[in-house]
């Protein structure tokens, strides 16, 4: 059975609301007038554990052995399917629209660290993404691969199984190859995207909140 903007508490076995804001009872993944509620629920005896400050957009699917840390955002059309292994997502990470995170049935699950940017239509499968990395739109990271801290996988890149990407580099291509070290301004750009998505998720959670993002650098 799936909940609409709710999750079954592992500890109590009872349904509990997600992300209630003080005095308002707003549910991420639901929102005012949402026509496509998020699907959050148990599979194979495992139930998602989602921090109250996380945002799961309408239409997203989060099922099974999935843990979302503080201020994580999972956007429209994403699927996080922890049915045969586990998925862990660290604080303030954003999983953008249409992305899929899944797992192999043997070995490691999928770990996404803190302050990570996962672009639109990304596929992550039984891999490790270290803190502050950026995975560009349409990129694929395959089984046993690891993207080092602060590194960038360029849009459309395919990181092959078992590849170890060192920290602070740019990789691109099919299969992906290390191209160069990242500049300080490029590292700062990832941090800026993380901060922006925290504000964007607040806007989607609360339609009354207005932010002029066009004024940001």
User: Which pLDDT score is estimated for 21?
Assistant: 32
Banded model confidence at residue 172, pLDDT cuts 50, 70, 90: very high
Statement: residue 10 has pLDDT above 50: no
Banded model confidence at residue 207, pLDDT cuts 50, 70, 90: confident
Contact between 190 and 169 (Cβ < 8 Å):
no
Average pLDDT estimate for 13-24: 33
3-state secondary structure the chain: CCEECEEECCCCCCEEECCCCCCCCCCCCCCCCCCCCCEEECECCECCEECCCCEECCCCEEEEEEEECCCCEECCCCEEEEEEEEEEECCCCEECCCCEEECCCCCCCEEECCCCEECCCCEEECCEECCCCEECCCCEECCCCEECCCCEECCCCEECCCCEECCCEEEECCCCEEEEECCHHHHHHHHHHHHHHHHHHHHHHCCCCCCCHHHCC
In the chain, % of residues over pLDDT 90:
77
Statement: residue 12 has pLDDT above 60: no
Q: Are strands 3-4 and 61-68 parallel, antiparallel or unpaired?
A: unpaired
Domains of the chain as residue ranges with CATH? 3-215 (2.160.10.10)
- Residue closest to 49 by CA, chosen among 84, 89, 22, 83: 89
User: Which pLDDT score is estimated for 24?
Assistant: 32
Average pLDDT estimate for 91-115: 97
As given in the structure block, the two tokens for residue 65 are: 């052995």
User: Which pLDDT score is estimated for 37?
Assistant: 72
Contact between 122 and 102 (Cβ < 8 Å):
no
Average pLDDT estimate for 32-52: 82
Banded model confidence at residue 35, pLDDT cuts 50, 70, 90: low
User: Which pLDDT score is estimated for 3?
Assistant: 42
Average pLDDT estimate for 116-137: 98
Cα–Cα distance for residue pair 42/22, rounded to 1 Å: 27
User: Which pLDDT score is estimated for 198?
Assistant: 96
Statement: residue 160 has pLDDT above 80: yes
């Amino acid at each position: 059975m799936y909940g609409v903007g709710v999750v079954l508490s592992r500890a109590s076995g009872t349904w509990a609301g997600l992300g209630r804001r003080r005095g308002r009872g707003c549910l991420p993944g639901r929102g005012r007038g949402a026509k496509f509620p998020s699907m959050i629920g148990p599979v194979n005896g495992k139930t998602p554990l989602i921090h109250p400050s996380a945002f799961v957009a309408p239409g997203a699917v989060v099922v099974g052995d999935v843990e979302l840390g503080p201020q994580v955002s999972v956007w429209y059309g994403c699927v996080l399917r922890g049915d045969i292994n586990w998925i862990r997502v660290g604080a303030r990470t954003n999983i953008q629209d249409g992305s899929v995170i899944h797992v192999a049935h043997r070995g490691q699950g999928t770990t996404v660290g803190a302050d990570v940017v996962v672009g639109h239509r990304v596929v992550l499968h039984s891999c490790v993404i270290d803190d502050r990395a950026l995975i560009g739109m349409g990129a694929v990271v395959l089984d046993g691969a690891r993207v080092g801290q602060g590194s960038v996988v360029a849009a459309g890149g395919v990181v092959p199984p078992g590849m170890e990407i060192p920290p602070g580099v740019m990789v691109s291509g099919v299969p992906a190859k290390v191209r160069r070290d990242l500049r300080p301004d490029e590292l700062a750009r990832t941090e800026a995207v993380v901060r922006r998505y925290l504000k964007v998720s607040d806007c989607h959670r609360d339609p009354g909140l207005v932010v002029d993002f066009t004024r940001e650098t």
